[in-house]
C-alpha cells in the first residue's frame, strides 16, 4: 500500500524530509535532556488506523536501564506508541506505521525484520492482568518454551522469574494451581514474571497498575524500581504521582484536534528528565496538565 | 457476552418486579398466557411425538430389532441391524472427514487470514449460505465428488459419508469460528507479547480455550448428520441392504444404508408390524440424537466461561 | 496487518547493528501448517463452486431436450410449477404455525424468563430442531393425519396431504425462528426497556411497542431463515405430502414438493442422464436459487439490524 520504498539508508537530501535532525524537526515538541545511551528511539513516528492519523511525528529516546514514563490525556496515543515499540500493532487490522523505530540501531519496521524476534527482545505487560488459563508454573514456562530458550532447569528459571517479580514467597506452594486463583495484584506480578522469564531487554508496560488497589500498586512500583537495574522499562501511566515516583524521564503527549476533520491526533509535547518536567515544564500545556488544569 | 446478557436479564427482572401491579390486568395476563403456550407448544409436540411413537413401538423393543436385517417376509421380527451399523459407520467416517477439515478451515479464517481482504468476506458470506443449502442438494454434490474420487457404484458407504461431511462442514466451520472468536483477545496479546508465533499462540492458547465450544458445535453437527436421510437417498443409500460394512478401509466401498433411511422405507408400508418396528426404531434414533444434543448442551452450559 | 514505510533514521546506535539478530527466521513448520490450514479454507469455497458445477451440466442437458416453456409450466410431465406450488403450500402452512408460536416463545424467553430459566428453556426448544425430519414425516403420517386431523378434528383429508406436512414442518422450523428471534430481541438495549417502563408502560406494552419494533429486522431475518429451511426440507414432504404433481391449493390433498420430487427420482430406477434424472437437477437448481435468495435476503436484513445499535 505504501508507495515509499523501504530503505535502510538515509542520505541528507532525501525528499521525505526525514534527513533533518530530531531537534530541528521536532519544533512542536520540547525536547529536554535526552539519555546518553539509548536502547531504543522513535524517529518521526506516525501511526494510522485506517485513514485516521492517531499519532503525529513522535521523536523519543529511551535510555538504557532507565524507566521512561509516557503520560497524557486519554486518547492521545500513548498505548498506540507503546504497541509500536514491539510491533504489537501488527495485530490490529488496518494499523499502519510510518517513520522508524530503532532498537540498538536496527529499524524494527525495516523489511526483513521478524516481528516475533522483536517481541522476544521487547516484552510487554498489559493494563489488565491477563494470565493464561493455566497453572502458575506453566504461565512462566510458556514464554521460554515457545521461543525455544535453552534452559538447564525450567524449575530454576520459574523460581528465578517469580523471585525477581517478588512473587515467589506468595505462590511457591501453589505453582501447579490455576493462575486465575491469584489476586489481581498477584496476577499482574505474575504477568511481569512471565515477561522477564524470557529475558527480554526492554519491558513495555501499559498502565500496569490501573486495575490494582494502592497496596498492590506500590508493590508493582517497587518491583519496577528493582527491575530497572537489569531492564529498560517504558511505562504508560495515568497516575502522575506514579510517573514522578518511578520514572527517570517523562514524555508528555496530548491530542490535538484537526481543524478540518475534527479527528484528534496525538503528539508529543515535551520530553525531559522527570524531575525537570514536573518541577519546571517548558511548555504551557505540560504545566496545565501536571497541575491538574487539564481534563 | 453471556455474562453480559445474564446481567442484563437480571436488571430487567428487578426493574420489572417493581412494576408488577401494572402487569396484572386481564390483557397482560392473557398475553403472558399466550407466550407461555407458544413456548410450551413445542415441548408438548415433542412429548406427544415421543409418547405416541413409544406406544406404537412398544411391541418391538426386543433383541431382534438390532440383531436382524430388514425382512418383508417376517415383518414381526424385522430388524435394523444394517441401518444401525450403517449409521454408526457413517457417523465415524463423517466425523473423520469433516471435523479436522472444518476446524482447520475455521482456524485459518480466524487466526491467520487477514479479515480486511475482500475474499475473506466472500468466504464468510459463502459459509453462511452453505449452512442453509438444502441437505438434499449436498447429496447431488456428493455424487459428483465420489465419482471424481473414483467410486462409480451407487449406495456405498463412502458416498454417504462424503454427503454428510459436506453437509455438516459449514456448520462445524461456523461454530468453530464462533468458539475461537469467543477466546478473549487478552490471551492472544499475552502470547504474542512473549514472542510466540501465530501457530504457537493458536495451538497452545486459543484452541485449548475454544475446545468446549468446538465440541458443542461438532456434536450438534454430527447429531444432525446422523438423522439425515435425504442426501443419502441421492447417493443411493436409501435401498434395502442386508449386510454390514466390513470393518476397516475395505468397508468404505461396501453397500450401506442408515437408520433414518430404513425408517423412511417402512413408513409407507401398510403392514402394521412394519409400522410398529419403525416406531421402535425411531425411539432408538431419538435416544441417540437427543442424547448427543443433551451432551452438547451440558458441555456448553458447563464450560461457558465468564472471562 | 500493519504496513510500514521504513526510512530508517540516523541513529546513534548504528555501530551496534547485527549485535542482535532480528532478521526473519525461516519457520518451515509454521509455513507448512499455514499452507495446510489455507487449503482447508479453500475447500470450503470449492464446495459452492462444486454445487454449481454439479448442477449445471445435467441442467444444460435437460434444457436441450425439454423447452424452457415446458419446465416453467403448470402442467405436463416436465412442469416445475406444480412442484413449486407443493413447496409453497407446505411452507405457508408451516410459517402460519411457526411464526406466531416462534415469536411468542422468543418474547417469553427474552422478556419474561429469568436468566437461569432461559439457560435451560432455550436449549430445550432447540432440541425440537434436533429431531430428524424423517421422524417428523413419520409422525405426520402416523399421528397428525389419522389421529389429529381425521379423528379429533374430523377433517376429510387424504392419507397424504399438504396440511399435515405443513403443520409438522412448522413444528420443525419453530425452534429456528424462536432461537434467532430471541437473539434479536435480547440485543435490544436495556435502556430502551427502562425508558418505556419509566414512562409507566407495563411489560406487555413494552414488549410489543418498544422491544418488538426495535428488533423487527432481526425478527424478519429469523422468519426468512425459517422459510428457507422449510423450502429445503425433504423427508417430511416426501413422506406426508404425497407424490401427485398438482397445481392447486387444496391442502386437504397431497401435492408433491420440489424436494419430494428429487428424492423420488433418485430413490427410483432412473438411469443417469435420462430426462427425469436431469429434470431432478433442474428442480434442484431452482431450489438452490430459491434458498440462496432467501439467505441473501436475511443477510441483508440482518446487516441493517446490526447497524441499528
Ligand atoms: N485498534 C484501534 N483501531 C482504531 N483506532 C484506535 C485503535 N486503538 C486506538 N485507536 C485510536 O487511537 C487514538 C489513540 O488511542 P490510544 O489507545 O493509543 O490512546 P491512549 O493515550 O492510550 O489512551 P488511554 O489513556 O485512554 O489509554 C484514539 O483516538 C483511539 O480511538
Ligand atoms: Mg491506553
User: At B164, which CATH number?
Assistant: 1.10.3720.10
Residue B156 is given by DSSP the state B
- The CB density around residue B256, as the number of other CB atoms within 10 Å, is 31
CA B285 to chain centre: 13
Atom of ligand 1 nearest to the CA of A263: 29
Specify the pairing of strand A38-49 against strand A95-103: antiparallel
B14, part of any domain: no
Contact pairs from chain A to chain B, CB under 8 Å: 68
Q: Which of B116, B186, B195 sits opposite A120 (nearest CB)?
A: B195
CA distance C18 to C12: 14
Q: How large a percentage of chain A has pLDDT more than 90?
A: 66
Mutate to test the interface with A, among C1, C3, C6 (most CBs of A within 10 A): C6
Model confidence band, residue C111 (pLDDT cutoffs 50, 70, 90) = very high
Question: Residue ranges per domain, chain C?
Answer: 2-58, 66-308
Q: What is the pLDDT of chain A when averaged over all its residues?
A: 87
Instruction: Enumerate the H helices of A11-75 as residue ranges.
Output: 22-25
Say how many domains are in chain B.
1
Residue A93 has pLDDT above 60, yes or no: yes
Specify the pairing of strand A95-103 against strand C3-4: parallel
B42 contacts in chain C (CB < 8 Å):
101, 105, 125, 128, 171, 174-175, 178
Q: Does C179 contact chain B (CB < 8 Å)? A: no
Residue C34 has pLDDT above 80, yes or no: yes
Model confidence band, residue A61 (pLDDT cutoffs 50, 70, 90) = very high
B211, part of any domain: yes
Residues with CB under 6 A from ligand 1: A 49, 52, 54, 74-80, 92, 238, 264, 266
CA distance A57 to A48: 11
Instruction: Enumerate the H helices of chain B as residue ranges.
Output: 2-18, 26-57, 64-67, 81-107, 118-131, 135-149, 157-181, 185-193, 198-201, 207-227, 230-234, 259-267, 272-303
B43 contacts in chain C (CB < 8 Å):
124-125
SS3 C161: coil
Q: How large a percentage of chain C has pLDDT more than 90?
A: 53
The kind and range of the H/E element at A268 are: strand A264-273
CA distance A134 to A143: 13
C66-308 fold: MetI-like fold (1.10.3720)
CA distance A185 to A188: 5
CA distance C143 to C151: 10
B297, part of any domain: yes
Cα(A266) to centroid(ligand 1), Å: 9
* Structural domain for B205, as ranges: 63-303
SS3 A44: strand
B122, part of any domain: yes
Highest mean pLDDT among A34-38, A146-150, C7-11: A146-150
Q: Which of B13, B127, B137 sits opposite C51 (nearest CB)?
A: B137
Residue with cell 447429496: B139
Q: Does A87 contact chain B (CB < 8 Å)? A: no
Do residues B16 and C197 make contact, with C-beta atoms less than 8 angstroms apart?
Answer: yes
B250, part of any domain: yes
Q: Does B194 contact chain A (CB < 8 Å)? A: yes
Do residues B159 and B151 make contact, with C-beta atoms less than 8 angstroms apart?
Answer: yes
B34, part of any domain: no
B270, part of any domain: yes
Question: Residue ranges per domain, chain A?
Answer: 24-290
> Nearest-CA distance from B170 to chain A in Å?
25
Give the CA distances from residue A25 to residues A31, A44, B168, C86, in Å, rounded to whole numbers and listed in that order: 11, 9, 60, 77
What backbone torsions phi and psi does residue A197 show, to the nearest 5 degrees? -60, -25
Contact C9 A6 (CB under 8 A): no
Q: How many CA atoms lie within 13 A of C288 on its CB side?
A: 24
Q: Does A94 contact chain B (CB < 8 Å)? A: yes
CA distance B128 to C2: 29
- Segment 31-50 of chain A within 8 Å of chain C by CB: 38-39, 41, 43-44
Question: Nine-digit cell at A144?
Answer: 521460554
Residue B55 has pLDDT above 60, yes or no: yes
pLDDT given for residue C89 in this prediction: 95
Residue C109 is given by DSSP the state I
SS3 C50: helix
Q: How much is the ipTM here?
A: 0.86
Residue C243 is given by DSSP the state S
Residue A153 is given by DSSP the state -
> Nearest-CA distance from C28 to chain A in Å?
15
More confident residue, B302 or A160: A160
Best mutation site among A45, A77, A81 for ligand 1, i.e. most ligand atoms within 8 A of its Cβ?
Answer: A77
SS3 A175: coil
Model confidence band, residue C200 (pLDDT cutoffs 50, 70, 90) = confident
Residue A26 has pLDDT above 90, yes or no: no
Q: Which of A1, A10, A92 sits opposite C7 (nearest CB)?
A: A10
CATH superfamily to which A24-290 belongs: P-loop containing nucleotide triphosphate hydrolases (3.40.50.300)
Q: Judging by beta carbons within 10 Å of its beta carbon (0-12, 13-18, 19+), is residue A128 exposed, middle or buried?
A: middle
Amino acid at each position: 500500500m505504501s508507495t515509499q520504498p523501504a530503505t535502510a539508508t538515509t542520505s541528507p537530501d532525501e525528499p521525505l524530509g526525514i534527513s533533518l535532525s530530531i531537534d530541528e524537526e521536532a519544533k512542536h515538541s520540547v525536547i529536554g535532556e535526552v539519555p546518553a545511551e539509548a536502547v531504543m528511539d522513535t524517529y518521526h513516528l506516525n501511526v494510522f488506523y485506517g485513514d485516521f492519523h492517531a499519532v503525529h511525528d513522535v521523536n523519543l529516546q529511551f535510555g538504557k536501564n532507565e524507566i521512561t514514563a509516557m503520560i497524557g490525556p486519554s486518547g492521545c496515543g500513548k498505548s498506540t506508541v507503546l504497541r509500536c515499540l514491539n510491533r504489537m500493532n501488527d495485530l490490529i487490522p488496518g494499523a499502519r506505521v510510518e517513520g522508524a523505530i530503532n532498537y540498538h540501531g536496527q529499524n524494527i519496521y525495516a523489511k526483513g525484520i521478524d516481528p516475533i524476534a522483536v517481541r522476544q527482545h521487547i516484552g510487554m505487560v498489559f493494563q489488565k492482568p491477563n494470565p493464561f488459563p493455566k497453572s502458575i508454573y506453566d504461565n512462566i514456562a510458556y514464554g521460554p518454551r515457545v521461543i525455544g530458550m535453552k534452559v538447564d532447569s525450567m524449575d530454576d528459571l520459574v523460581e528465578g522469574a517469580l523471585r525477581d517479580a517478588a512473587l515467589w514467597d506468595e505462590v511457591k506452594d501453589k505453582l501447579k494451581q490455576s493462575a486465575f486463583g491469584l489476586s489481581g495484584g498477584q496476577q499482574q506480578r505474575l504477568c511481569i514474571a512471565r515477561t522477564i522469564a524470557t529475558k527480554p531487554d526492554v519491558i513495555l508496560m501499559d498502565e500496569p497498575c490501573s486495575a490494582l488497589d494502592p497496596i498492590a500498586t506500590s508493590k508493582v512500583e517497587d518491583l519496577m524500581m528493582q527491575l530497572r537495574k537489569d531492564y529498560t522499562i517504558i511505562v504508560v501511566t495515568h497516575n502522575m504521582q506514579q510517573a514522578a515516583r518511578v520514572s527517570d524521564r517523562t514524555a508528555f503527549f496530548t491530542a490535538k484536534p484537526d481543524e478540518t476533520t475534527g479527528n484528534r491526533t496525538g503528539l508529543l509535547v515535551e520530553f525531559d528528565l522527570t524531575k525537570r518536567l514536573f518541577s519546571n515544564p517548558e511548555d504551557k500545556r505540560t504545566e496545565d496538565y501536571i497541575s491538574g488544569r487539564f481534563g | 457476552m453471556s455474562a453480559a446478557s445474564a446481567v442484563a436479564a437480571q436488571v430487567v427482572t428487578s426493574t420489572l418486579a417493581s412494576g408488577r401491579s401494572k402487569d396484572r390486568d386481564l390483557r397482560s395476563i392473557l398475553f403472558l398466557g399466550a407466550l407461555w403456550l407458544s413456548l410450551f407448544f413445542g415441548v408438548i409436540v415433542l412429548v406427544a411425538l415421543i409418547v405416541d411413537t413409544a406406544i406404537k413401538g412398544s411391541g418391538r423393543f426386543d433383541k431382534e430389532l438390532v440383531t436382524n436385517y430388514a425382512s418383508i417376509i417376517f415383518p414381526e421380527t424385522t430388524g435394523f441391524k444394517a441401518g444401525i451399523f450403517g449409521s454408526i459407520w457413517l457417523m465415524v467416517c463423517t466425523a473423520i472427514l469433516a471435523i479436522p477439515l472444518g476446524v482447520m478451515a475455521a482456524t485459518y479464517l480466524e487466526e491467520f487470514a487477514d479479515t480486511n481482504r475482500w475474499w475473506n468476506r466472500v468466504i464468510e458470506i459463502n459459509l453462511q449460505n452453505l449452512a442453509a443449502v438444502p441437505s438434499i442438494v449436498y447429496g447431488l454434490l456428493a455424487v459428483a465428488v465420489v465419482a471424481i474420487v473414483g467410486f462409480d457404484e451407487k449406495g456405498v458407504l463412502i458416498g454417504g459419508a462424503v454427503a454428510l461431511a459436506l453437509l455438516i462442514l459449514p456448520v462445524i466451520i461456523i461454530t468453530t469460528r464462533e468458539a475461537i472468536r469467543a477466546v478473549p483477545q487478552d490471551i492472544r496479546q499475552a502470547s504474542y507479547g512473549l514472542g510466540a508465533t501465530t501457530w504457537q499462540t493458536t495451538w497452545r492458547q486459543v484452541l485449548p480455550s475454544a475446545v468446549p465450544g468446538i465440541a458443542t458445535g461438532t456434536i450438534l453437527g454430527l447429531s444432525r448428520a446422523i438423522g439425515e436421510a435425504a442426501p443419502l437417498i441421492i447417493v443411493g443409500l436409501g435401498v434395502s441392504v442386508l449386510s454390514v460394512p466390513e470393518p476397516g478401509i475395505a468397508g468404505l466401498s461396501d453397500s450401506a444404508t442408515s437408520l433414518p433411511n430404513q425408517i423412511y422405507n417402512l413408513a409407507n408400508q401398510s403392514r402394521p408390524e412394519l409400522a410398529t418396528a419403525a416406531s421402535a426404531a425411531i425411539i432408538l434414533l431419538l435416544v441417540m440424537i437427543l442424547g448427543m444434543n443433551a451432551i452438547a448442551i451440558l458441555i456448553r452450559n458447563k464450560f461457558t466461561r465468564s472471562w | 496487518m500493519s504496513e510500514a514505510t521504513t526510512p530508517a533514521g540516523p541513529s546513534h546506535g548504528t555501530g551496534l547493528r547485527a549485535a542482535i539478530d532480528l532478521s526473519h527466521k525461516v519457520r518451515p513448520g509454521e509455513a507448512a501448517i499455514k499452507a495446510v490450514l489455507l487449503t482447508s479454507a479453500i475447500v470450503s469455497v470449492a464446495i459452492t463452486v462444486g454445487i454449481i458445477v454439479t448442477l449445471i451440466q445435467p441442467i444444460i442437458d435437460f434444457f436441450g431436450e425439454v423447452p424452457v416453456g415446458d419446465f416453467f409450466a403448470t402442467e405436463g410431465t416436465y412442469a416445475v410449477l406444480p412442484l413449486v406450488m407443493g413447496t409453497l403450500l407446505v411452507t405457508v402452512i408451516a410459517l402460519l404455525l411457526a411464526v406466531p408460536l416462534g415469536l411468542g416463545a422468543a418474547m417469553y424467553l427474552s422478556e419474561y424468563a429469568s436468566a437461569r430459566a432461559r439457560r435451560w428453556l432455550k436449549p430445550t426448544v432447540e432440541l425440537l430442531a434436533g429431531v430428524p425430519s424423517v421422524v417428523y414425516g413419520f409422525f405426520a403420517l402416523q399421528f397428525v393425519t389419522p389421529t389429529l386431523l381425521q379423528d379429533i378434528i374430523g377433517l376429510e383429508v387424504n392419507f397424504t396431504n399438504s396440511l399435515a406436512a405443513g403443520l409438522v414442518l412448522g413444528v420443525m422450523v419453530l425452534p429456528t425462528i424462536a432461537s434467532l428471534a430471541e437473539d434479536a430481541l435480547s440485543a435490544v438495549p436495556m435502556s430502551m426497556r427502562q425508558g418505556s417502563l419509566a414512562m409507566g408502560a407495563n411489560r406487555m406494552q413494552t414488549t410489543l411497542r418498544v422491544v418488538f419494533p426495535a428488533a423487527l429486522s432481526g425478527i424478519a431475518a429469523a422468519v426468512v431463515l425459517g422459510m428457507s429451511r422449510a423450502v429445503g426440507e425433504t423427508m417430511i414432504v416426501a413422506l406426508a405430502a404425497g407424490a401427485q404433481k398438482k397445481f392447486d391449493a387444496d391442502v386437504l390433498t397431497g401435492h408433491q414438493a420440489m424436494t419430494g420430487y428429487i428424492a423420488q427420482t433418485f430413490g427410483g430406477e432412473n438411469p443417469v442422464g435420462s430426462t427425469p434424472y436431469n429434470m431432478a437437477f433442474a428442480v434442484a437448481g431452482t431450489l438452490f436459487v430459491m434458498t440462496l435468495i432467501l439467505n441473501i435476503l436475511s443477510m441483508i436484513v440482518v446487516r441493517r439490524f446490526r447497524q441499528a445499535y
